[in-house]
Structure 1
Amino acid sequence: MTVSLCSISRDEKGVLQNLYSLYLHDLSEFTDELDISSNGSFEFDSIELIWEREGLTPYFIKKEDAIVGFLLLLEKPFLKENYDYSINDIFILKKFRRKGIAILLLKELFKFKKGNYYVIELASNTPAVIFWRKAYSELSIEFDEEKKMIDGENCLVQSFHI
């Protein structure tokens, strides 16, 4: 199976917006902070920032040539802390989940982007917590984890070095 990360151009913003709506719909199960807009979709209201701020890089996740999800990577100069990268959002369409795609794409990402990382999950998002713990185990990544309150939400913050 071939899995790749492909940078998303501003011209492809509509596709990313559609994927973000699906992602936020899934995430709404775990927080009361997400609701649909008046047009009936979940909207990422800061999508324009992705192409306006240096250090925000969106990628399509592709299996062969088909888009199966997206990843939003934060890096310097957007990140101000002692981290080089943060995997801010990662989303795989439901029919492609639990097939090893996300682990393969993380392997690919970590080949080219080495440094200090952090990942944040809502503590109530059990599928995300399980996924990240499995990823760390399968990729032999040692990580530190702390519980933090972020924007009024109980979160888990994991940090690691690649």
Structure 2
Amino acid sequence: MSIEVVKVPLEEKAILKNLLKMYCYEWSQYNKFDVNDKGEYEFEHHISDYWDKKKHYPFFVKVNGILAGFVLIDDDFVLHPNYDYSMGEFFILHKYRRSGVGRYAAKAVFDMFRGKWEIGEHPDNISSIRFWDSVINEYTDGKYEIIKSCPNLVYHDGTCGNVISFEN
């Protein structure tokens, strides 16, 4: 199995937006977002930020050349404004989960972007919490910090999220 993390060119923004709709749908079970009258999630309208703003980076995750997910990196910090990178969004299609694809993609992105990282977790998304705790513990050899129910990270549903931070 060949796994790649490749920067999304501007001309493929519509493809990323298609994947983003699936991600937003999945996330709606946690953050309780509704769609608008056009059937769109509000977050879909912010995807251009990843080409228009500095320190915003969009990536596709591909397996054997086939789209398997995406990674969005930015500098929209909730707790550490002096950090370098935030894991804006991370999505792997169900078919590729628990196969090492997400783990590979996360580590590849961390290797591409050296510095101080911040990652938010919704406490009801148990599979995400298990994934990030495992990947980051392995990647940092246990040298990371987690703040649970951080009042600086409040999701749309009113839940305080967890914030993981580390330096690589």
Task: Give the alignment's TM-score, normalised by structure 1.
Answer: 0.89
Of 156, 162, 168, the match for 1:156:
162
**Which residue number corresponds to residue 36 of structure 2?**
37
* 1:14-33 deviation line (CA, Å, top 9, x unaligned): 1111111100111111122x
Cα deviations across residues 23-50 of structure 1 (Å, max 9, x unaligned)? 0111111122x11232334352212222
Q: Which residue of 2 aligns with 1:87?
A: 87
Distance in 1 separating the partners of 2:130 and 2:104: 17
Indicate if the aligned counterparts of 2:103 and 2:135 stay in contact, CA closer than 8 A.
yes
Instruction: Work out the percentage of aligned pairs sharing the same amino acid.
Output: 27
Q: Which has the higher mean CA deviation after the structures are superposed, 110-119 or 79-88?
A: 79-88
Asked if the contact 1:141/1:160 (under 8 Å) is kept, the reply is no
Kept in 1: contact 2:137–2:144 (CA 8 A): no
One-letter amino acid of the structure 2 residue matched with residue 2 of structure 1: S
Root-mean-square deviation (Å): 1.8
Q: Deviations 1:84-131 (Å, cap 9, x if unpaired)?
A: 111110000111111110111122223222111010011121111111
Q: Deviation above 4 Å: which 4+ runs of structure 1?
A: none
Partner of 1:2: 2
C-alpha separation in 1, matches of 2:31 and 2:53: 27
SS of match in other structure, 2:163: strand
Q: Please give the secondary structure, in 1, of the residue aligned with 2:160.
A: strand
Residue 103, structure 1, aligned to residue 109, structure 2: no
Q: 1:81 to 1:50 in 2, by over 3 A?
A: same
User: Hey, what's the Cα distance between the residues in 1 that align with 2:72 and 2:45?
Assistant: 15
1:14 equivalent in structure 2: 14
Q: Distance in 2 between matches of 1:82 and 1:48?
A: 24
Q: Which residue of 2 aligns with 1:70?
A: 70
Residue 141 of structure 1, CA deviation:
4.2
Q: Distance in 2 between matches of 1:125 and 1:59?
A: 22
Cα pair distance change 1:123/1:15, threshold 3 Å: same
CA shift at 1:153, angstroms? 3.0
Query: Which segment is superposed worse, 60-69 or 143-152?
Result: 143-152
State how far apart, in whole Å, the 1-side matches of 2:50 and 2:111 are. 23
Provide the residue aligned with 1:26 in structure 2: 26
CA distance in structure 2 between the aligned counterparts of 1:125 and 1:110, rounded to whole angstroms: 22
The SS at the match of 1:45 is: helix
